[in-house]
Structures are given as C-alpha cells and as structure tokens.
Structure 1
Amino acid sequence: MSKKILFILSEYGYWGEELLGPVVACDENGYQAVFATATGKRPQALPPSLDPGYVDPPLGRSVTTPEVAVAATALDGSSRLDNPLSLTAWIPDRPYFSEPDYLRKIEAYYRDLGAIETDIEQYDAMVIVGGSGPIVDLANNGRLHELILAFVEADKPIVAECYGVTCLAFARNWDDRRSIIDGKHVTGHCKEYDYKDGTGFIGTDFNMGPPPYPLEYVLQDATGPTGRYHGNVGRETSVLVDYPFITARSTPDSFLAGRKMVEVLEKGLRKFGW
C-alpha cells in the first residue's frame, strides 16, 4: 500500500517554505504528496515568500534563504500543483437550518459525510500549509473542518503551520461546539510575529493591514484551561507534537515540522516541544 500525505493549500496564497519543508520530508521518506484546495484552483506561493531579499517587518530580517527561495520557486512552478483535489467537489456542504425540508437535507448530509471515512483510508496524515491565504478560504471552511474531524476520528496525525493552525481551533463537533484542540498543547503565529500592515493575498489588491485576528489569542482560548498555547518567542523554532496534532509557529519551523511528522508516523512520537 502506497504511503500518502494530503496537503491542504489556500487559493489565496501559501508561504513557500511552509509547503517545501513537509514536501521535502515526504519525498525523502517515500510518501506521495497529494494536494487539495478549497475549489480545486491551482495554489500559488505568496511572492514575498520566494524572495530572499524580502525583510519580514516584525522580525526585521529576511526569513527566506537563497537556497529555500530557489527550491520553493521550483516547487511552486512545477506540475505537481497543477490539478489539486477540490474540497467543494469532495465534501458536502452543510445545509442552513432555514432551508426548506431541512431534516431530509441534514440526513442526506450526514449520509454523504460517511463516505469521507472510506476516502481518507488511503492517507497517512494531513498537512495544512500556512501563509496569509488560509485566513480567507481555509480557517472557517466548513468542508475542511469536517475533513479534519474525520482525520481525528480515524486517529491520523494532522500537521498545521502558521495561520493554518486556525483551522484546528475552529474545527468543532456541532453537538458540543468544543474545539478539537481543547486540552492540547499547540503553537502558532504569535502576537510578536504579526504584521501591523501589509497582510495581503494572491489574486487581490486588498491590503488588510494587520491580520483580522491575533491567532495567539484564538489558540489560548481554544486550548482551554487544561491545554496551552506556546509562542516560544525568542526561540528560533517552535514545533509541538501533542498527538494527533503537529503544530508549527511560522516559516522557520516548516522543515522541522515535516521531520516530526515522519517521526510520528514511523517511530511512534506522541509528544515533543512542551
């Protein structure tokens, strides 16, 4: 049976290194990378993430080495990303309560969701790639939330990077509305790393300014009184494993997150970084 990892990417821009790190781990360890986006549109890297001369405003330095820029540019321009799966075509859309014949529609919805359990048997893990794009089409994507819940139910690990970690905080069972990271230890984009201006997206000229929410605060609340958010400010890397979740704070953590994913899958790693 072939080994496969499902990668979820935004159609509004991913950060180059945050795809490259886990993909390199897959390629080096015999895992096939399968890519998916919200509607099946080809993902594109955010231009600053491919530019070693780009100075990250909060950090005051470049966060992309020349070597990573070359490799990430090659991956972004390769045919590997040409035909991603579509979450819209794959996963049903939950009906509104106000829709006519709601009961029959919600029954059909749950029947259709059952097929996901079979669909994901082929995958060993999921990676939610970070960057600013996930803010737009992944963080509050109900279809992605259902996929995340299915992976958790199947006891399959999930890697989430940077603003991709938001998807974990918002993925909730509709019965109890508790975050799936309640009681877990996670990392993610810390307040000190947030832009004050310049949060942008592929395909738009819109400068959002700062991010629409401080992810650190979201994660502090979602992990609850028995879990914890770890910013690890001042440390060069921040990757946590609290199985089944592998969370990475930002760009420099991408290669480490990929390596830890392999350790989780092949060596039984269940806790790291806290």
Structure 2
Amino acid sequence: MTEALFVVSAADHWTLQDGTHHPTGFWAEELVEPYTAFDEAGYTITVATPGGRTPVVDPASLEPDTAGGEDRAAALEASLHNLHPVLEHAVPLERQRADDFDLLFVPGGHAPMEDLAVDEKFGELVRHFVDSDKIVAMVCHAPAALLPAFASGGRWLFEGYRLTSFTNLEEAQAGLADKAPWLLQDRLQEAGAVFSSEDPWQPHVVVDRGLYTGQNPASSRPLAERVVADVAGQGTTR
C-alpha cells in the first residue's frame, strides 16, 4: 500500500505588501483533483496541517469564473463537502515523519506562501523525503514550501533543480502581482531553481529527480496522474 502525506496549509490569509490580509486558503481544484487521483489509485492518504488545524478553502477557487463554470464550481464544492470529515481531522504536521510515508504532496493557493514557506521544521521534513529518494510533489503556489528546505551544509536543497510554479505573468493576470510581498517565480529563481513554464493557465508538469511540480490549477490532475504512474512503475509501496 502506498502511503501519501498530503500536507495542506492552515493559513486563512496572505499578508500583502501593505500589511493587509488577503483572504485565502487551499485552492479547491488543487486539493480535490490530487486527493481524488490518489484515492482512486488506492493510496492511504494522511492529511496533515500545521498544528492539526482544519484548513479552509480559498473562496475565490469556488467562484464560477475561476473554477470553470457553475457546474464545475458546484462539483468542487460537493467534493469538498465529502472531504470535510477528512480535513476536519487533519493530523499535526509537526508529528509526521518521512519514514512513515512513500510520498509528499502539497496543494497550492496563496496560503502556503504565508505559513509553509517560512516553516523550518517543514523544510527539514522535506529534506528527509529527498534524502530518502521519495517523491515530493507540489502544485501552483505550493512550491513556496520548498524554500525552507536546506541541505546539511546550508545550501538550498533544490538549487539546480528544474521546476515550475505559478508564474509572475499568471500572478499579474490574476491581479495580485502589484500587491504581493514577493513573487514566487522570482523567489525560486533567486534561490537557484531552473524555472520552467508554459503559457499562462496551461497545464505544465516538471519532473526532476524526485521533485514533481505543476504550474497552475490546470496542472493539478496531470501532476497527480504523473505521480501515480511513476509510483506504479517503481513499485513504491509500503
């Protein structure tokens, strides 16, 4: 049985450049699609959040204009309703060990930029996954959670890795680039990542060694399906 640690940010806001709080949380599609793909593949999924707090959905991700229409928004809302008992009983992230899992997955939304991006203990957990040659997968804004991961010598763990995330252009088109305290693409490149991107809003998945990243919400299902296919091909089970 494949054991997946599904880490969700517990932040309900993103602190903007001027100090105001922008309501956020996890992005619905980025949680629902990978969770569903892993569940369909028969994975045992452990949902963990900082402090074991119940995560909240970014309300914008359930608006028809951003979700892909009224039917799609309704379907996502129904899926989240079904997943509520799982999210409500999230376990404390601080108590999780890489030895107990086969892979790590983090969905996006701006929330990870508020908490996971500056969580040194989470960075250590990521390092343990990498040191054990286990898959680390993140989509959209979630690669912000790679930033606190450092090798034992102090070098950023993903320096020289090819990866992707929500791009500066997508942030600008979403209307938040001018308000952001920092832009994820810039921060990843400054840290030493080899950044890869496709046209805005198009699915794009990048795999480099054990790091799997997706560019945007549309990349959520393709990223999860790539993880499932590769785990099946490697025979990674516990």
Amino acid at match of 2:92: S
The answer to whether structure 1 residue 240 and structure 2 residue 198 are counterparts is no
**Structure 2 residue aligned with 1:257:** 223
Residues 212-259 of structure 1: CA deviation (Å, up to 9, x unaligned): 2111112222235xxx20122257111101120110111111000110
- For the Cα contact (< 8 Å) 1:17–1:72, is it kept in 2? yes
**Structure 1 residue aligned with 2:50:** 38
The 5 A counterparts of 1:93-242 are: 116=97, 120-173=98-151, 175-195=152-172, 210-223=179-192, 228-234=194-200, 236-242=202-208
Q: Structure 2 regions of 5+ residues with no counterpart?
A: 12-24
Q: TM-score, normalised by structure 2?
A: 0.84
C-alpha separation between the residues in 1 aligned to 2:182 and 2:170? 13
| Pair 1:133–1:151, CA change in 2 (3 A) | same
Amino acid at match of 2:182: Y
Amino acid at match of 2:5: L
C-alpha separation between the residues in 2 aligned to 1:216 and 1:20? 24
**Structure 2 residue aligned with 1:69:** 73
- For the Cα contact (< 8 Å) 2:170–2:200, is it kept in 1? no
Residues 36-69 of structure 1: CA deviation (Å, up to 9, x unaligned): 111111011111101213xxxxxxxx35344542
- For the Cα contact (< 8 Å) 1:129–1:161, is it kept in 2? yes
Specify the structure having the higher radius of gyration (Cα). 1
Aligned residues: 220
- For the Cα contact (< 8 Å) 2:67–2:73, is it kept in 1? no
C-alpha separation between the residues in 1 aligned to 2:171 and 2:125? 28
Residue among 79, 83, 87 paired with 1:81: 87
Amino acid at match of 2:38: C
Amino acid at match of 2:4: I
| Pair 1:67–1:181, CA change in 2 (3 A) | farther
C-alpha separation between the residues in 1 aligned to 2:72 and 2:131? 35
**Structure 1 residue aligned with 2:4:** 5
- For the Cα contact (< 8 Å) 1:197–1:210, is it kept in 2? no
C-alpha separation between the residues in 2 aligned to 1:121 and 1:185? 25
- For the Cα contact (< 8 Å) 1:127–1:159, is it kept in 2? yes
SS state at 1:247 partner: strand
C-alpha separation between the residues in 2 aligned to 1:143 and 1:256? 29
Amino acid at match of 2:91: L
SS state at 2:45 partner: strand
C-alpha separation between the residues in 2 aligned to 1:169 and 1:194? 19
Residue among 18, 24, 30 paired with 1:18: 30
**Structure 2 residue aligned with 1:99:** none
C-alpha separation between the residues in 2 aligned to 1:140 and 1:51? 29
Which 4+ stretches in 1 moved above 4 angstroms? Answer: 195-199
Q: What is the alpha-carbon root mean square deviation over aligned residues?
A: 2.3
